[in-house]
Amino acid sequence: MELFFPERVFFEPISLNYPLGQKLFHFFETKNVEIIKAPIQKVLHFIPGETENQKYSHAKKTLVITTKKALNLDICKPSADYRFSLVTNCPGNCEYCYLQTTQSSKPYIKIYVNIEDIFNTIIKYIYKNNNNITTFEVASSGDPLAVEHFTGSLAKTIEFFGKLENGRLRVSTKFNNIDSLLNIEHNGHTRFRFSINSKYVIDTFEHNTANFYERIEAAAKVLNVGYPLGFIVAPIMVYDNWKEQYKELFENLAQKLNPGNIKDIKDAVTFELIQHRFTTVAKNVINKRFPNNRLDMDESKRAQKWGMYGRYKYIYPPEISNEIKEYISMLIKNYFPDSIIEYYT
């Protein structure tokens, strides 16, 4: 896919005190892009658009170069012990994305330049965990790979984790901008998980992200250079033909990755399975942003589950949820017999 390039880049003045802030400033000042230097509270003021949807669309093309102020890390179950961010948001436009609600008022892409502070925080959290192996998710509030061609931050982070005896990094992505990460010292301490789905879900709902084939291609590349590999199958949706299409997904994956060659358990491919869910707040935002969306968000056909953000979410009722779990697990065991299913939720 074509690499993302912004319409405007906003520099919070403090960001220019950091090497990455300066590198980004020198890069963008030679490019045909609007550059703004102002306090971060003014960002929205500089984003054009008459309607909320126009503003949203311009915000998705706005980079905000800033520092990460709050350096305490949240727990990130079930995917890791903790999560941290190099970026917040991404230039993708997935209609169901949960950031539609959590980042609704500020959908611009924030890049954090104080990465040494972030690394020091990670060391502290490993120490707090009695120096046991501690896992960190880097992509729960945005997709760092989408802007890696500007920042190089993910490469630095992978190398940092490569040297940590007890730190393990988990990256998840819907992008394929992977080449700059193939020849670095990862030491097997970073697990790349590609977010994948049926072709219908990717083509219909995941705009401005790498397509089905590009993601599989990128996954094969990281596997070839020895990164631990995984897939997040999410959000799993039930629609006409869903079984056939998810079968096609695993057929394609197996063809490209040749799982028969992956024998060592430490190299086992992992799968994380997440069914589609939504909250009432998300439904309202999504219906405003994507008025003609084809997402199935009929509460009367769903079951309620209490969510960690203090809201009910709507998931599939137990009989459909169990059918999803059994069917997708069966496909995984057929096509990737030595793989590990980490969780289904």
3-state SS assignment for residue 62 = strand
Instruction: Confirm or reject binding of residue 209 to ligand SF4 (CB under 6 A).
Output: yes
Q: Which of 99, 111, 115, 196 binds ligand SF4 (CB under 6 A)?
A: 99
272 strand-pairing partners:
232, 343
Instruction: Confirm or reject binding of residue 88 to ligand SF4 (CB under 6 A).
Output: no
Other beta carbons less than 10 A from residue 133's beta carbon = 13
**Degrees to nearest 5, angle at CA 300 with 295 and 302:** 70
- Per CB under 6 A, the segment of 92-100, 106-114, 283-291, 326-334 that binds ligand SF4 is 92-100
C-beta of 60: minimal distance to ligand SF4 in Å?
Answer: 9
Instruction: Confirm or reject binding of residue 97 to ligand SF4 (CB under 6 A).
Output: yes
Closest CB to ligand SF4 among residues 181, 210: 210
Instruction: Confirm or reject binding of residue 111 to ligand SF4 (CB under 6 A).
Output: no
Torsion on CA atoms 334, 335, 340, 345, rounded to nearest 10: -80
Q: Which of 83, 168, 170, 174 binds ligand SF4 (CB under 6 A)?
A: 174
Instruction: Confirm or reject binding of residue 65 to ligand SF4 (CB under 6 A).
Output: no
Closest CB to ligand SF4 among residues 62, 134: 62
C-beta of 97: minimal distance to ligand SF4 in Å?
Answer: 3
Instruction: Confirm or reject binding of residue 235 to ligand SF4 (CB under 6 A).
Output: no
C-alpha span between 6 and 24 (Å, rounded): 12
Q: Which of 20, 90, 138, 328 binds ligand SF4 (CB under 6 A)?
A: 90
3-state SS assignment for residue 50 = coil
CA distances from 282 to 21, 94, 96, 301 (A): 33, 13, 8, 17
Instruction: Confirm or reject binding of residue 85 to ligand SF4 (CB under 6 A).
Output: no
C-alpha span between 63 and 21 (Å, rounded): 12
Q: Which of 6, 92, 230, 259 binds ligand SF4 (CB under 6 A)?
A: 92
C-alpha span between 209 and 301 (Å, rounded): 29
CA atoms within 13 A on the CB side of 5: 8
Binding residues for ligand SF4, rule: CB under 6 A, are 90, 92-94, 97, 99, 142-143, 174, 209
